[in-house]
Structure 1
Amino acid sequence: MTLRSRPARTGIALSIGALCAVVLAGCTEGSEDSGSPTEKPTPTSSSSKPSSKPDEKLGKQAEAALDTVTIDDPEFVESGLETLSDGVHAESLLNRGKSYQLGVSCAGSGTAELSVHVEGKPVVRRIDCDGTATYERITEASTRLGIDVEGEPGASGMVAWRISEM
């Protein structure tokens, strides 16, 4: 085992420290205004993924069109909010024999297809994504109600839906 004296260990530590300082100085020297590849890239916008702020605004617009019944009202049954690209695919449990109203609102651009599945054939309607509400009456309800909303090609926005007792 070889022991080094304190001055030798101190010299080695100073040498390592000096070497680190030289390496760090070399990495940052001249990079401020040189336009070298070490500059941070500038973020760019992408048209394939919309930001969440327009979706939030469109969501509020779609929900506002359906504000005739609020969650605190005894008539309120169920509601939801989805992006039009995801679509709405919901199945709601209802009380057999009662009457309900389904409201759907799409805010954005283009058109969407609304399918309401009650016993028998589905009722299919095209709706504009202009922020206005479309209503469908369900009389003598079965125990299940299926709701599907799909955006037509090129359509975008938010879809709100609400079921209330009549």
Structure 2
Amino acid sequence: MAIPVDEIMTLRPHPLGRSLVLCASALSVALATGCTSDSGGPNGPSAPQSSPGQQRKHPSETSDQDEERLGEQVEEALGTEEVGDNDPLFVEAGLERVSDGFHTEPELARGRSYRLSVACAGKGKIILSVALKAPVRRTMGCDGVPLQLRITASTARVTIDTERMPGATGMVAWRMDRVEK
């Protein structure tokens, strides 16, 4: 049904309605501000203030500089800082944050022996898992000392993973090499 133009009614805001809208808006802003700001009052915890350029860091996190330093430490421990394709025994290597862990499935020749080297630097411990015919699961400290395992591939793909234990931080690196016969 069409409404003729001369019959269109204009709505005038009601003074009470306008007051209610303004009051509700002001209350919403006050609630949002109260919920999102740090409260140092008697009923709320007082948070330490930080400068604008400084971020608060969770005690279990490491900074980018720490990660870089720890990454260099584990790569040096495994000799992966300058490894290349010209090494005929080299299979693969990698570097990850402990919090991310590493997950790899290198393609290996069935029946051939390999040396897996893993190093973790930082704090805490990680769990290394190697899915073989006889699975390997080892807990290792993030002390920068490499752990070496000799494995023989029973299938073409072997799954290798690490996971951090609670509170562990730092960097973890691995290297897989063929073992000469």
More displaced stretch, 47-56 vs 74-83: 47-56
Q: How many residue pairs align between the two structures?
A: 125
Contact 1:62 1:105 in 2 (8 A): yes
Q: 1:132 aligns with which of 127, 145, 148?
A: 145
Q: Which AA in structure 2 matches 1:56?
A: E
Contact 2:96 2:172 in 1 (8 A): yes
Q: 2:68 aligns with which of 46, 51, 56?
A: 56
Contact 2:105 2:159 in 1 (8 A): yes
Q: How does 1:80-91 map to 2 (within 5 A)?
A: 80-91=94-105
CA distance in 1, matches of 2:74, 2:154: 25
CA distance in 1, matches of 2:129, 2:174: 12
Question: What is the CA RMSD across the aligned residues, in angstroms?
Answer: 1.8
Q: Is the alpha carbon distance of 1:140 and 1:93 closer, same or farther for their aligned partners in structure 2, counting shifts above 3 Å? A: closer
TM-fit CA distance, 1:88:
0.9
Contact 1:110 1:128 in 2 (8 A): yes
**How many percent identity over aligned positions?**
46
CA distance in 2, matches of 1:59, 1:125: 21
Q: Structure 2 stretches of 5 or more lacking a match?
A: 1-50
TM-score by length of 1: 0.70
TM-fit CA distance, 1:145:
1.4
Q: Which has the higher strand share?
A: 1
CA distance in 2, matches of 1:144, 1:46: 42
1:40-61 CA distance string (max 9 Å, x none): x622232135321110110010
Q: Is the alpha carbon distance of 1:86 and 1:140 closer, same or farther for their aligned partners in structure 2, counting shifts above 3 Å? A: closer
Q: Which AA in structure 2 matches 1:129?
A: C
CA distance in 2, matches of 1:141, 1:162: 19
Q: Structure 1 stretches of 5 or more lacking a match?
A: 1-40
1:42 aligns with 52
Contact 1:106 1:159 in 2 (8 A): yes
CA distance in 1, matches of 2:76, 2:88: 19
Contact 1:99 1:141 in 2 (8 A): no
CA distance in 1, matches of 2:176, 2:66: 25
Contact 1:100 1:141 in 2 (8 A): no
Q: Which AA in structure 2 matches 1:57?
A: R
TM-score by length of 2: 0.64
CA distance in 1, matches of 2:153, 2:144: 29
CA distance in 2, matches of 1:51, 1:108: 11
CA distance in 1, matches of 2:93, 2:118: 10
Contact 1:84 1:157 in 2 (8 A): yes
TM-fit CA distance, 1:67:
1.1
Is 1:163 equivalent to 2:176 in the alignment?
yes
Is 1:79 equivalent to 2:93 in the alignment?
yes
Contact 2:108 2:153 in 1 (8 A): no
